[in-house]
């Protein structure tokens, strides 16, 4: 049985935020601002801020562009990569179009090979991300890569990155991170005053806002709004509290997160790129700023790192903090790193934490919506 998912009257959905962002980025360009396109949480956006540029997220999140991409890329590939490349190559993404350069990293194989193709379309600087953190070399190497990226950005944007500017950017970005984590932590409340659909939409829409202050303002306003809602709502029927883990969910939010909530769940926590995974640890505001950035960004628990034990520690902590009843793992089609790591995540959730776990492998099409509905219904029924 489905319930009605209530969204506030002033709720701006992701499509609105994206559309408004197009117009704003065009205006920024007219004012002479430089724009840097990015694809990953490992991107040290402080470098772009220190060069007085703005970052735009270019990860594809819809079926648009996929047919075009499949003329060049294999069909059996991650939809995020196909969509990102297809929109860029067919000139259908205004954010890509307005980007002065792309700041990329070697994360998964698909993305790094996509960047080779993208170099034919735009200036692309690829940071070589170490494949793991073990040994003493990884951190030194990554710090050097961050220094190399700073030079490339400075050159491309026509503004040298000074240590003072970088320090200011680190302080500012840390404020933004804290505001994000505080908004996520509203999900710890019981009952949770906000739907996971709404919270993930707000977080994803931040990539279409172009100053740190306006992001912080939105995050603080929303947090206050949700806390006030909690005071009014009182105690409702207890819903199963769900955590989402795995690949980025931006392109499957409607068919998984929204649908799970329509079926009676409360999605309260996100262990994914759109969750606090990349935000919890701040960048040290003292000492060498390049080393501080290297330490922080190398510590992000993504499945592209081998090994990646921090992911289980983070899951453990979130299960306790958010009082989780069940975990849904979302894996995008052909994402090998998350698909393989899912076996260990499943063992940990079901055997150690003794919680229900649902694995959903999907793409950006609607072809499997019915099947996903059926599996979500059975999963939630089992918990109720
Ligand atoms: S920090 S999750 S943004 S790498 S889903 S393209 S891994 S095949 S997006 Fe990611 Fe950075 Fe990690 Fe986040 Fe490849 Fe997998 Fe596709 Fe992925």
Over 70: is that where the pLDDT of 233 sits? Answer: no
**CA-nearest residue, atom 16 of ligand 1:** 78
**Residue 256: CB partners within 8 Å, gap ≥ 6?**
244, 249, 328, 330, 360, 362, 372, 376
User: Residues near ligand 1 with C-beta < 6 Å?
Assistant: 40-42, 78, 80-81, 107-108, 110-111, 247-248, 273, 300, 302, 304, 332, 335, 337-338
Residue 337 C-alpha to ligand 1 middle, in angstroms? 9
Residue linked to tokens 């909530």: 261
Residue 333 C-alpha to ligand 1 middle, in angstroms? 12
Q: Which of 42, 69, 80, 305 to mutate to test the pocket of ligand 1 (most atoms within 8 A of CB)?
A: 80
Per-residue burial over 33-66, b if 16 or more Cβ lie within 10 Å, else e, is bbbbbbbbbbbbbbbbbbbebbbbbbbbbebebb
Tell me what pLDDT residue 341 has: 98
Tell me what pLDDT residue 243 has: 97
Nearest ligand 1 atom, CA 300: 1
**CA-nearest residue, atom 15 of ligand 1:** 335
Average pLDDT over residues 214-225: 94
Angle between helices 212-233 and 163-184 (to 10 degrees): 20
Residue 98 C-alpha to ligand 1 middle, in angstroms? 23
Tens of pLDDT along 255-302? 999 999 999 999 999 998 768 878 889 999 999 999 999 999 999 999
Domain ranges of the chain: 14-164
Q: Return the ∠ at Cα 314 (arms to 313 and 315), rounded to 5°.
A: 90
Query: What is the sign of the dihedral through the CA atoms of 332, 181, 105 and 294?
Result: negative
Residue 202 C-alpha to ligand 1 middle, in angstroms? 20
Nearest ligand 1 atom, CA 108: 14
Tell me what pLDDT residue 234 has: 62
What order do you get walking across the sheet with 266-271 strand by strand? 266-271, 241-246, 326-332, 357-362
* pTM for the structure as a whole: 0.93
CA dihedral 13, 15, 21, 26 (to 10 degrees): -160
Residue linked to tokens 């990539």: 207
Over 80: is that where the pLDDT of 103 sits? Answer: yes
Pull the structure tokens for residue 69.
Answer: 């991409």
Lowest mean pLDDT among 165-174, 175-184, 203-212, 340-349: 203-212
Tell me what pLDDT residue 14 has: 60
Over 60: is that where the pLDDT of 342 sits? Answer: yes
Tell me what pLDDT residue 10 has: 57
Over 70: is that where the pLDDT of 6 sits? Answer: no
Over 80: is that where the pLDDT of 42 sits? Answer: yes
Residue 59 C-alpha to ligand 1 middle, in angstroms? 9
Nearest ligand 1 atom, CA 41: 1
DSSP state string for 101-124: EEEEE--SHHHHHHHHHHTTTS-E
What order do you get walking across the sheet with 35-38 strand by strand? 54-57, 35-38, 101-105, 124-127
Helix (H, G, I), strand (E, B) or coil at 99: coil
Lowest mean pLDDT among 180-189, 205-214, 249-258: 205-214
Residue 151 C-alpha to ligand 1 middle, in angstroms? 25
DSSP state string for 125-138: EEE---S---SSHH
- Helix H or strand E encompassing 268: strand 266-271
**CA-nearest residue, atom 11 of ligand 1:** 40
Residue among 113, 137, 145, 119 nearest 43 (CA): 145
CB 111 within 8 A of CB 81: yes
DSSP state string for 3-18: ------TTPPPHHHHH
Q: Phi and psi at residue 244, in whole multiples of 5°?
A: -100, 135
Residue 111 C-alpha to ligand 1 middle, in angstroms? 8
Q: What pLDDT band is residue 236 in, cutting at 50, 70 and 90?
A: low
Q: Using a pLDDT cut of 70, give the percent of the chain over it.
A: 94
Q: Is the peptide bond before 307 cis (omega within 30 degrees of 0)?
A: yes
Over 80: is that where the pLDDT of 366 sits? Answer: yes
**CA-nearest residue, atom 3 of ligand 1:** 40
Average pLDDT over residues 84-107: 95
Tens of pLDDT along 298-330? 999 999 999 998 999 999 999 999 999 999 999
Residues in the chain: 384
Cα–Cα distance, 307 to 330 (Å, whole number): 20
Q: Using a pLDDT cut of 90, give the percent of the chain over it.
A: 81
Tens of pLDDT along 130-188? 999 987 799 999 999 999 999 999 999 999 999 999 999 999 999 999 999 999 999 99
Over 60: is that where the pLDDT of 3 sits? Answer: no
Residue 248 C-alpha to ligand 1 middle, in angstroms? 7
Identify the CATH assignment for 14-164 out of 3.40.50.11890, 3.30.420.10, 3.40.50.1950, 3.40.50.620.
Answer: 3.40.50.11890
Integer CA distances (angstroms), 277 to 160, 174, 211, in order: 31, 14, 22
Average pLDDT over residues 198-222: 91
Over 80: is that where the pLDDT of 13 sits? Answer: no
Alpha helices for 234-365 (secondary structure H): 259-262, 289-298, 310-321, 336-347
Residue 153 C-alpha to ligand 1 middle, in angstroms? 23
**Residue 140: CB partners within 8 Å, gap ≥ 6?**
none
Over 60: is that where the pLDDT of 127 sits? Answer: yes
């Amino acid at each position: 049985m489905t319930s009605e998912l209530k969204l506030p009257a002033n709720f701006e959905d992701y499509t609105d935020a994206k559309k408004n962002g197009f117009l704003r980025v065009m205006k920024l360009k007219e004012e002479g601002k430089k724009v840097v396109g990015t694809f990953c949480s490992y991107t040290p956006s402080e470098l772009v801020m220190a060069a007085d540029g703005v970052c735009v997220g270019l990860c594809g999140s819809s079926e648009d562009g996929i047919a075009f991409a499949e003329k060049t890329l294999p069909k059996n590939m991650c939809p995020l990569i196909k969509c990102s490349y297809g929109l860029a190559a067919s000139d259908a993404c205004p954010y890509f179009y307005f980007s002065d350069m792309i700041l990329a990293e070697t994360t998964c194989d698909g993305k790094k090979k996509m960047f080779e193709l993208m170099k034919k379309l735009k200036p692309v600087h690829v940071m070589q991300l170490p494949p793991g953190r073990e040994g003493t070399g990884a951190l030194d190497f990554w710090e050097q890569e961050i220094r190399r990226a700073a030079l490339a950005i400075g050159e491309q944007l026509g503004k040298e990155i000074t240590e003072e500017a970088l320090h200011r950017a680190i302080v500012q970005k840390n404020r933004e991170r804290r505001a994000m984590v505080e908004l996520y932590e509203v999900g710890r409340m019981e009952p949770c005053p906000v739907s996971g659909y709404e919270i993930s939409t707000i977080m994803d829409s931040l990539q279409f806002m172009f100053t740190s202050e306006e992001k912080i303002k939105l995050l603080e306003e929303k947090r206050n709004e949700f806390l006030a809602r909690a005071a009014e709502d009182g105690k409702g029927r207890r819903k199963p509290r769900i955590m989402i883990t795995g690949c980025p969910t931006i392109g499957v939010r409607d068919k998984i997160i929204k649908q799970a909530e329509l079926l009676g769940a409360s999605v309260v926590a996100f262990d994914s790129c759109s969750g606090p995974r990349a935000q919890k640890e701040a960048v040290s505001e003292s000492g060498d700023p390049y080393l501080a950035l290297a330490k922080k960004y190398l510590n992000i628990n993504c499945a592209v790192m081998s090994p990646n034990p921090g992911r289980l520690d983070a899951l453990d902590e979130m299960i306790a903090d958010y009082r989780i009843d069940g975990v849904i793992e979302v894996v995008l089609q052909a994402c090998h790193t998350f698909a393989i790591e899912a076996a260990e995540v499943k063992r940990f959730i079901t055997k150690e934490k003794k919680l229900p776990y649902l694995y959903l492998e999907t793409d950006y099409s609607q072809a499997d919506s019915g099947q996903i509905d059926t599996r979500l219904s059975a999963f939630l029924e089992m918990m109720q």
